[in-house]
Amino acid sequence: MFKTLFKQKSKPRPIDAAQIPVGRRVYAIGDVHGRNDLLKELLRKILDDDNARGPADMQIIMLGDLVDRGPDSAGVIDTAMALKDWKPNTRFLTGNHEEVFLDAVNSGDPKIVRFFIRIGGESTILSYPISRKDYLKMDMKELAEKLPQIIPQRHVDFLTSFEDQIVIGDYIFVHAGIRPGVAIEDQEATDLRWIRGSFLNHKGDFEKVVVYGHTITKDVDESRSRIGIDTGAYDSGKLTAIGLEGGERWYLQTGEAKKGGKKSAKKETA
């Protein structure tokens, strides 16, 4: 009874007060994971949406994990490179899958190649000029030696250029999340690319509203000060982007667009 009588109103959510600087419009795209077909579809939706909203300094951010699991990682990288050529202010974040992909290509270490394959790298390798028959003939040592021969250096250089965090207005864009209690400028790359539990389970608010991918949810996951947009595109067929302008946010998907403000369904882990 007394709890009902003296019940306090819940505090406003930081995401509902967050702002992008005036004159700018930002679209952030979640984990693509080799689905070049969905990436092209979503980019068309973004361009149509941007045109419909009128003039603004538009920028696209990709949150990482372009590669692995889906059928055309090489094509995704080509599309991303073409997007960068067309719109040079496009920015890209390093996901944990880019990290392992680059380690596998650059190290020549069979153990790293084995781990790369275990987390979805087989489909990435087969999106380059190697047949499944030849791939299956190789042991890990032979495959480690083969990767630099079939993967273009321009792809390696492009992925190497990716960033770990981007701050715009009241938002920070990262691949996986941030470490609670650590200042933004002191965040470790490992956490920005791999963190999950301690970030997702944190009950307090963050210094900025965190827009991230990495952890799969059935739909957009809005919390007090974080927004997850990895909707498992490689398996679900739903690739998601968030649009931000001023104090407004909205979502575009390769399916029916989700209206802003609703909380997502139960989370799943990637």
In sequence order, what are the residues at sequence separation of 6 or more whose Cβ sits closer than 8 angstroms to the Cβ of residue 264?
217, 218, 219, 220, 221, 222, 228
Residue 189 is assigned to a structural domain of this protein: yes
Residue 231 is assigned to a structural domain of this protein: yes
Residue 49 has pLDDT above 70, yes or no: yes
Report the distance separating Cα 29 and Cα 240, nearest Å. Answer: 6
Residue 230 is assigned to a structural domain of this protein: yes
Residue 265: what pLDDT?
A: 34
- For the sheet with 221-222, list strands across it: 166-168, 171-173, 209-212, 226-228, 221-222
Residue 172: what pLDDT?
A: 98
When divided into structural domains, the chain yields a total of 1
Could you tell me how far CA 200 lies from the centroid of its own chain?
Answer: 16
pLDDT of 75-87, one tens digit each? 999 999 999 999 9
For residue 45, give the CATH number of its domain: 3.60.21.10
Residue 228 has pLDDT above 50, yes or no: yes
Q: Residue 64: what are its φ and ψ, rounded to 5°? A: 100, 175
| Nearest by Cα to 79 from 158, 174, 162, 161 | 158
Q: pLDDT category, 11, cuts 50, 70, 90?
A: confident
Q: pLDDT category, 44, cuts 50, 70, 90?
A: very high
Residue 155 is assigned to a structural domain of this protein: no
Residue 10: what pLDDT?
A: 64
Mean per-residue pLDDT, 5-32: 86
Mean pLDDT value across the chain: 92
Residue 269: what pLDDT?
A: 40
Residue 153 is assigned to a structural domain of this protein: no
Domain residues for the domain of 184 are 22-94+164-253
Residue 89 is assigned to a structural domain of this protein: yes
Residue 29 is assigned to a structural domain of this protein: yes
pLDDT of 136-153, one tens digit each? 999 999 999 999 999 999
Q: pLDDT category, 12, cuts 50, 70, 90?
A: confident
Residue 206 is assigned to a structural domain of this protein: yes
Element holding 248 (H helix, E strand): strand 248-253
The pLDDT > 90 percentage for the chain reads 89
pLDDT of 236-247, one tens digit each? 999 999 999 999
In sequence order, what are the residues at sequence separation of 6 or more whose Cβ sits closer than 8 angstroms to the Cβ of residue 5?
none
